[in-house]
């Protein structure tokens, strides 16, 4: 199965993983609510960035992020948090700041964890952010992919949805990655609120189907594949609360027939019984076969944000290490499960903890 993905040799590349997307500040009210909070914990996070950070902090790989930040204290705060996460910042685009944020700013994300019957809640304040202004021609992809070398490049639909220019920048990036033999993973991550200004679902499908032509590893949940690529899932209820894996496998088979460049297609499967208890597993297609992770029924959730990004990074690690598709889906599902046991968007676990969960050791005192 080693020929599923052709990865550039580690010794020929400066980076094992590079992400391309916005890095926001997350304001977390703890166990309370945003609407009456008096204090917040602050984390950095972003659907694409979280994968690179986990690649460095959990998996011990060399990681960098391509993004943009304003030259002010909030931009420097994000940079400091990225540096704490071990993610290289040499490819950050710095934008001059006008003093009040009219021209550029850091995107803010206020997120509640949810509990029991109260669902998690996110409230974003991200218009005119520095990253949303990234346009084709701003990033020297020949330097990054050609001179420095990248083994795995990760981006996604959240960043592509921010503006017409970010969509075009993603297309430019994945074309360049393909040119230099870098594996491209893409998380569809559909957000209706972001695509609303770009034509809704038809607009999302037009952009994502163009990007999909250059993707090796396509990641997304059931709603992502239907909304972004137009593939239907039989038996899916209107709220997408539960899914029959057999029907979803049929949809993935259809997707890989239409996009033969997909070497791997994967999804997490979540049945959110409450905000606190979810059934959680994952499916991966590779080399004409399907691979399923173990099912974790009634998984206790502390903070669900970042679970899918945790899955994406674990999957990437499995393939980067040559462990094969079954190991990749197990690493991804276990890491995603653990990512949801800690606050913030980013992973706060080590590879040894992921492997312990994979082998069923569960919650035990580590001395």
What pLDDT, on a 0 to 100 scale, did the predictor assign at position 234?
63
Reported confidence tier of residue 1, pLDDT bands at 50, 70, 90: very low
d(CA 172, CA 139): 9
Mean pLDDT of 73-83: 98
**In angstroms, what CA-CA distances link 299 with 211, 248, 360?**
34, 21, 13
pLDDT tens, residue by residue, 272-331: 999 999 999 999 999 999 999 999 999 999 999 999 999 999 999 999 999 999 999 999
Q: Which residues contact residue 236 at a Cβ distance below 8 angstroms, ignoring those fewer than 6 apart?
A: 222, 226, 243, 247
What pLDDT, on a 0 to 100 scale, did the predictor assign at position 224?
87
d(CA 227, CA 204): 7
Number of residues in the chain: 367
Terminal CA-CA length for the chain? 37
- Which segments of 15-128 does DSSP mark as H helices, in order? 49-57, 73-84
Mean pLDDT of 150-170: 97
Mean pLDDT of 13-17: 98
Do strands 289-292 and 277-286 pair parallel, antiparallel, or not at all (unpaired)? antiparallel
Reported confidence tier of residue 252, pLDDT bands at 50, 70, 90: confident
């Amino acid at each position: 199965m080693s020929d599923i993905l052709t990865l550039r040799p580690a010794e020929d590349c400066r980076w094992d993983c590079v992400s391309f997307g916005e890095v926001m500040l997350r304001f977390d009210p703890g166990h309370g609510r945003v609407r009456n909070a008096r204090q917040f914990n602050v984390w950095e996070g972003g659907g694409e960035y979280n994968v690179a950070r986990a690649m460095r902090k959990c998996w011990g790989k060399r990681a960098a992020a391509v993004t943009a930040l304003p030259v002010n204290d909030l931009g420097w705060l994000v940079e400091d948090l990225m540096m704490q996460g071990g993610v290289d910042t040499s490819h950050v685009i710095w934008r001059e700041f006008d003093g009040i944020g009219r021209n550029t700013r850091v995107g803010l994300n206020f997120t509640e964890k949810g509990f029991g019957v109260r669902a998690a809640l996110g409230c974003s304040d991200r218009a005119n952010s520095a990253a949303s202004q990234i346009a084709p021609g701003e990033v020297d992809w020949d330097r990054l992919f050609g001179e420095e070398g990248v083994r795995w490049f990760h981006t996604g639909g959240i960043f592509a949805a921010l503006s017409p220019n970010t969509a075009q920048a993603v297309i430019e990036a994945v074309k360049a990655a393909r040119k230099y033999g870098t594996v491209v993973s893409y998380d569809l991550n559909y957000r209706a609120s972001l695509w609303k200004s770009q034509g809704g679902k038809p607009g999302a499908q037009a952009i994502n189907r163009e990007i999909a032509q250059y993707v090796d590893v396509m990641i997304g949940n059931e709603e992502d594949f239907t909304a972004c690529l137009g593939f239907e899932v039989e038996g899916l209820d209107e709220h997408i609360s539960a899914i029959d894996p057999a029907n979803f496998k049929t949809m993935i088979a259809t997707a890989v027939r239409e996009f033969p460049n997909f070497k791997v297609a994967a999804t997490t499967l979540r049945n959110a019984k409450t905000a606190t208890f979810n059934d959680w597993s994952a499916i991966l297609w590779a080399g004409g076969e399907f691979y399923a992770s173990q099912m974790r029924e009634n998984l206790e959730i502390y903070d669900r944000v970042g679970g899918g990004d945790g899955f994406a990074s674990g999957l990437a690690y499995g393939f980067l290490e040559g462990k094969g598709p079954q190991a990749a889906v197990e690493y991804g599902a276990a890491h995603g499960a653990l990512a949801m046991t800690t606050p913030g968007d980013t992973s706060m676990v080590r590879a040894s903890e992921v492997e312990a969960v994979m082998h069923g050791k569960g919650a035990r005192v580590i001395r």
